Structure 1
């Protein structure tokens, strides 16, 4: 089998284009053409030396469609931002193969189903196995399921986790306190229950914590006094 190259990247992106049923500004329709270099396409960034796709940013373009499994062929991809569009359906489990991925931003779409097992069991657990991930943003979709108990086992570099405004349930795992580099944690407006983990006091570089709009009970853990970097704390039913 031939080694993956820029042609593989082009084929993967054309598979995505084929799944787009709505492109109101005709950006992909007019710009993503097999007659031009993929590195010149709107929203595509290529590496300087190896000339492979390293970033895809097609956020806020009003696109409608589904996410094809062929995106897993973007083997040099480090950042994927498809937020603020109208993508629907489930996240393909094949995306777990994006071993270089650092940023995943799919917030404010219409994605549904369980968080892909590649992301977290029902949340599909594999996403949380992509150890290179530093930011996960899946806010304002319709994702269901629960967070895995070992969520931080491999995500030691995670700095940003935004799962607000979904349909997640269960308890907030205590193991989140092991994501020691976490700066932003947004779990607001889901269906989480039980108490806020005491271990959250170990998140000493946390700047923003938003847990409002859930079914949490109990008291604020004493460990919150250790969160000296915290500037935005929201526990009530606020936006």
Structure 2
């Protein structure tokens, strides 16, 4: 009798799963490859349908993966009737409408990816009920409103990505308290505003923090150096400033404690401060340093030569003064060097020729004078060399002749004498 009851319950559960999947199929308005139209039929077990993964014991739906299939339509609220569903991936399709509240009833869900679709409306607060969730990706949609605070209580969450939406509001100071396992936070290109809360430094497992292209204002928290596991920091395209009592970019000094840091993006801000000598004490793993159009001024510290693994160094469109640092020649792995639109002057040193991996050099709109080192003509890796609007001698053009004969070479030089 007990065995019979178990079989009846299992059969009813399987019927429910099939009902939900067919309800999902009924909401599909575009199926260009006819995958669901041909494959999802009641004539076969739903466990054999494309995109469906079932558990081995009870044959209930564990995974629904229809990523990048060109599907269009909406998600029915019945999706919440799949209690054993662990992975739901509908990314890179053309789904529209609102994310259904019922999705918050999928208690077993660990992976939810609805990115690169056309979902609109607010982020459902019911998502905060899925306490098992480890990955939440709603990027590249048309979502708006504020981030529901319930999201910040998902203690198992490891990756949170809302980039490229229209989400607004402030980040709550308590946001780090309920996300002890968060490792990657993508909030790039939204409408978030207010100050970046200092409590963000409590994300002890954070490896990537991308808050770029928002409307944050105020100071960069000085305690970002507490993020000992941080590898990527992106704070570009905002309205951030620096402590007015400090002459240097003090938060960069704090970042010297982040010994795994590989990438820093701070361009397009309003810092109006000098680069600290501590720039040379940043992580030995640092490969990318982008600080263009952020108001940095003064001389480039010679300690920059300690950034031995940097491959991309961009500090163009600032107010840098002084001469070209000789110590830049130590950056033997450097491929992209951008110092355009500053107030640098003097000559370009011969030891620049030591940078044999250079792919791009942009020194236009400065006050460099005299002539370029002849050895630059031997740097066969260079594909772009921009020198326009300097005071270099016309004879310099002869040294570039070996480079400019290549079809894959792009250059600009306008010399004033």
Q: How does 1:213-232 map to 2 (within 5 A)?
A: 213-218=237-242, 219-221=249-251, 222-232=253-263
The root-mean-square deviation of aligned C-alpha atoms, in Å, is 2.9
Preserved CA contact (<8 Å) 1:9 1:73:
no
**2:97 corresponds to:** 65
Structure 1 residues 175 and 33, CA, compared in 2 at 3 Å: closer, same or farther?
same
TM-score, scaled relative to structure 2 = 0.49
State the SS of the aligned residue for 2:178: coil
The count of aligned residue pairs is: 229
1:157-207 CA-to-partner distances (Å, cap 9, x unmatched) read 000110110000111111111111001111000011111111110111111
Structure 1 residues 176 and 61, CA, compared in 2 at 3 Å: closer, same or farther?
same
Structure 1: gaps spanning 5 or more residues: 116-123
Which of these residues, 85, 88, 91, is aligned with residue 53 of structure 1?
A: 85
Residues of 1 paired with 2:201 and 2:236: CA distance?
18
Which of these residues, 94, 119, 125, is aligned with residue 93 of structure 1?
A: 125
Residues of 1 paired with 2:205 and 2:183: CA distance?
5
Residues of 2 paired with 1:160 and 1:31: CA distance?
39
Structure 1 residues 197 and 78, CA, compared in 2 at 3 Å: closer, same or farther?
same
1:116-150 CA-to-partner distances (Å, cap 9, x unmatched) read xxxxxxxx111011111111011000011111101
State the SS of the aligned residue for 1:113: strand
Which of these residues, 225, 230, 236, is aligned with residue 267 of structure 2?
A: 236
Report the Cα offset of residue 73 of structure 1: 2.5
Please identify runs of 4+ aligned residues in structure 1 that moved more than 4 A: 4-18, 26-29, 31-34, 36-50
Structure 1 residues 10 and 197, CA, compared in 2 at 3 Å: closer, same or farther?
farther
Preserved CA contact (<8 Å) 2:31 2:37:
no
Q: How does 1:1-239 map to 2 (within 5 A)?
A: 23=30, 25=32, 30=37, 33=40, 35=42, 39-40=47-48, 42-48=50-56, 51=60, 52-115=84-147, 124-218=148-242, 219-221=249-251, 222-237=253-268
TM-score, scaled relative to structure 1 = 0.83
Structure 1 residues 93 and 103, CA, compared in 2 at 3 Å: closer, same or farther?
same
Deviates most, 100-109 or 40-49: 40-49
Structure 1 residues 228 and 15, CA, compared in 2 at 3 Å: closer, same or farther?
farther
Preserved CA contact (<8 Å) 2:40 2:50:
no
